[in-house]
């Protein structure tokens, strides 16, 4: 039996301060939950000893009255964040033996705030994917089961948690951790949050340091939090964010207290509804939920304004040029010499080739090939340079829209979670999962997903809020209002018990 796994971060901090219970008890419970939830395959590496040691130190600080901001909170860390002395695989075979000698800045910020990390979470290989099925460490199972006509109760097929931060989303939804780190390049925090009924924030590009986060597409990658409430995500972001001299793209901007967005009314807030996010084929349940979300915010005092983002349809194809281009360059470092796997070969070239052939999975290889192609002489102007220009147009669309509104409301994902066996076999169909999340990524804007309801098949659906650059607080303000109106209390079938 676990007693404390239902607590939110805010509730746990309050209980610690009131001496109702201690971090070591709460963390021990979460270690038990980790064991119970092993069939979901959320973790690549569990670190219970480190978590317990951290919790003991937290106990002592609460007793001494010197507690840190997130002291004793059990979290888990996506295995894309380098962790000192703990294997970091990025979900790839090529890094199966990689033990970093340093901690990522975001990870260190959380450790310095007193958190207890339970382990390293499964993910799509190098964060490339939307279903956590490209990991070299196996699929992650969502704790949710489908109900109703499509696959009643226990007959539900095993579902994907979304990706790439699939382990993060699944473990938080299943009450195995109070929160988790994620990274979002084109939707990898928001889409899995939507699939699993939790909250996930992709901050403004540059808000959280990328230092020590294994790179996928450097101009898009952004760390952010997962938790079960908007408040908990704001609390985590307070600690995760901050300027970092080790990351030249980290923003020279003060970190505000993101919880300032909570508990405010939204009277007069202008919510933009981007017309282009309602393509003719949009799932009718998602379309209806989006309308409902807008009505909730209107009832809470906001003004609803239709806006246009005319280049939306080009975001996805543009992303699938820019992200693979950057990935092909970033992944050139895995040559068998410096990190992880090294395969034998008759000469140096053969070692490189064999290492990369054996170490990378199919999706990663596909992207390296696309990226190398679009960057090659003769094609660079036609693809890569053009994509950069379109990216600028997409960003400009948002600038124009934000002259008329303060926050945008849109769906997060075009469907509920799909089954392991129902996954699209066509990679382009899989890429369509990110049609609603990619535009904000291209513009570097903050965006988040809030659970808003259940579809007829019993699975969660999120709504997405997109904010102005570095205005996470207004986005969080709208998200808190949405969360309150939606009153999402549904829980997954598989949970820590
Ligand atoms: N699903 C998208 C991709 O495969 C986005 C992944 C991400 O945000 N890391 O690239």
Atom of ligand 1 nearest to the CA of 320: 10
Q: Is the pLDDT of residue 50 over 80?
A: yes
- Residues near 354 by Cβ (< 8 Å), separated by ≥ 6? 336, 343, 344, 345
Mean pLDDT over all residues of the chain?
96
Q: Is the CB of 127 under 6 A from ligand 1?
A: yes
Number of neighbours of residue 16 by Cβ within 10 angstroms: 22
Question: What is the rounded distance in angstroms from the CA atom of residue 183 to the CA atom of residue 168?
Answer: 10
Whether 492 and 142 have beta carbons less than 8 Å apart is answered as yes
pTM to 2 decimal places = 0.98
pLDDT in tens, 104-114: 999 999 999 99
Q: What is the pLDDT of residue 1?
A: 81
Segments making up each domain of the chain, as ranges:
9-215+222-268+447-460+470-486
> Ligand 1 pocket: which of 90, 168, 187, 464 to mutate (most atoms <8 Å of CB)?
187
Please report the sign of the dihedral spanned by the C-alpha atoms of residue 257, residue 182, residue 330, residue 414: negative
Which of these, 408, 488, 497, 400, lies nearest to 448 by C-alpha position?
408
Q: What is the pLDDT of residue 140?
A: 98
Q: What is the pLDDT of residue 430?
A: 86
* 407 vs 281, more confident: 407
Q: Is the CB of 132 under 6 A from ligand 1?
A: no
CA atoms within 13 A on the CB side of 45: 24
Number of neighbours of residue 455 by Cβ within 10 angstroms: 19
pLDDT in tens, 146-202: 986 554 555 789 999 999 999 999 999 999 999 999 999 999 999 999 999 999 999
Q: How far is the CA of 77 from the centre of ligand 1 (A)?
A: 18
Question: What is the rounded distance in angstroms from the CA atom of residue 193 to the CA atom of residue 179?
Answer: 12
Q: Is the CB of 189 under 6 A from ligand 1?
A: no
Q: How far is the CA of 454 from the centre of ligand 1 (A)?
A: 24
How many helices (H) and strands (E) in the chain?
A: 15, 11
Q: What is the pLDDT of residue 230?
A: 98
Whether 237 and 230 have beta carbons less than 8 Å apart is answered as no
Segment 404-411 mean pLDDT: 98
Write the residue with the smallest CA distance to atom 5 of ligand 1. Answer: 186
280 pLDDT band, cuts 50/70/90, is confident
Q: How far is the CA of 52 from the centre of ligand 1 (A)?
A: 33
Whether 88 and 81 have beta carbons less than 8 Å apart is answered as yes
Q: Is the CB of 186 under 6 A from ligand 1?
A: yes
- What is the per-residue DSSP string for 84-138? TTB---TT-GGGTT---SS--HHHHHHHHTT-EEEEEE--SGGG--SSS-S-TT-
Q: How far is the CA of 186 from the centre of ligand 1 (A)?
A: 5
Q: Are strands 43-46 and 222-227 parallel, antiparallel or unpaired?
A: unpaired
> Ligand 1 pocket: which of 132, 164, 330 to mutate (most atoms <8 Å of CB)?
164
Q: Is the CB of 164 under 6 A from ligand 1?
A: yes
Q: Please report where in the chains the tokens 């270690």 appear, as a residue.
A: 31
Write the residue with the smallest CA distance to atom 4 of ligand 1. Answer: 129
Task: Using a pLDDT cut of 70, give the percent of the chain over it.
Answer: 98
Which of these, 416, 481, 442, 413, lies nearest to 147 by C-alpha position?
416
Class at the top of the CATH hierarchy for domain 9-215+222-268+447-460+470-486: alpha beta
């Amino acid at each position: 039996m676990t007693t404390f796994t239902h607590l939110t971060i805010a509730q746990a901090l309050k209980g610690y301060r009131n001496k109702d219970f201690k971090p070591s008890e709460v963390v021990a419970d979460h270690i038990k939950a980790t064991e119970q939830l092993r069939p979901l395959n959320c973790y690549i590496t569990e670190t219970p000893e480190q978590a317990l040691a951290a919790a003991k130190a937290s106990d002592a600080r609460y007793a001494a009255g010197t507690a840190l901001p997130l002291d004793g909170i059990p979290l888990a860390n996506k295995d894309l964040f380098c962790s000192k002395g703990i294997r970091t695989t990025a979900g790839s075979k090529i890094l199966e033996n990689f033990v970093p000698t340093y901690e990522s800045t975001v990870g260190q910020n959380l450790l310095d705030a007193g958190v207890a990390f339970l382990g390293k979470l499964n993910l799509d290989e190098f964060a490339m994917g939307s279903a956590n099925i490209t990991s070299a460490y196996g699929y992650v199972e969502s704790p949710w089961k489908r109900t109703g006509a499509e696959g009643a109760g226990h007959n539900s097929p095993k579902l994907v948690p979304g990706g790439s931060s699939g382990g993060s989303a699944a473990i938080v939804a299943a009450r195995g951790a109070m929160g988790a780190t994620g990274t979002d390049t084109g939707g990898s925090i928001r889409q899995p949050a939507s699939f699993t009924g939790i909250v996930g924030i992709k901050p403004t590009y540059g808000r959280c340091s990328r230092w020590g986060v294994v790179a996928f597409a450097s101009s898009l990658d952004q760390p952010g939090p997962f938790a079960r409430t908007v408040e908990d995500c704001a609390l985590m972001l307070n600690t995760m964010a901050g300027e970092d001299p080790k990351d030249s793209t980290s923003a020279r901007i003060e970190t505000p207290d993101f919880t300032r967005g909570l508990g405010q009314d939204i009277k007069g807030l202008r919510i933009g509804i981007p017309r282009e996010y309602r393509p003719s084929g949009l799932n009718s349940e998602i379309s209806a939920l989006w309308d409902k979300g807008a009505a909730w915010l209107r009832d809470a005092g906001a003004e609803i304004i239709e806006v246009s983002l005319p280049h939306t349809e080009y975001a996805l194809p543009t992303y699938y040029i820019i992200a693979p281009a950057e990935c092909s360059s970033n992944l050139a470092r895995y040559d068998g010499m410096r990190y992880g796997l090294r395969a034998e070969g008759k000469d140096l070239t053969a070692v490189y080739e064999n290492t990369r052939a054996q170490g990378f999975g199919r999706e990663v290889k596909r992207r390296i090939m696309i990226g190398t192609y679009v960057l090659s002489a003769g094609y660079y102007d036609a693809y890569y340079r053009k994509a950069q220009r379109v990216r600028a147009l997409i960003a400009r669309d948002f600038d124009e829209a934000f002259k008329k509104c303060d926050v945008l409301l849109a769906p997060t994902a075009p469907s509920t979670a799909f089954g392991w066996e129902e996954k699209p076999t066509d990679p382009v169909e899989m890429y369509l999962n990110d049609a609603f999340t990619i535009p904000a990524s291209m513009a570097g804007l903050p965006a988040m997903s809030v659970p808003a309801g259940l579809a007829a098949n019993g699975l969660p659906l999120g709504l997405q809020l997109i904010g102005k650059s570095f205005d996470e607080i207004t986005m969080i303000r709208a998200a808190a209002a949405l969360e309150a109106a939606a009153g999402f209390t549904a829980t997954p079938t598989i949970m820590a018990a």
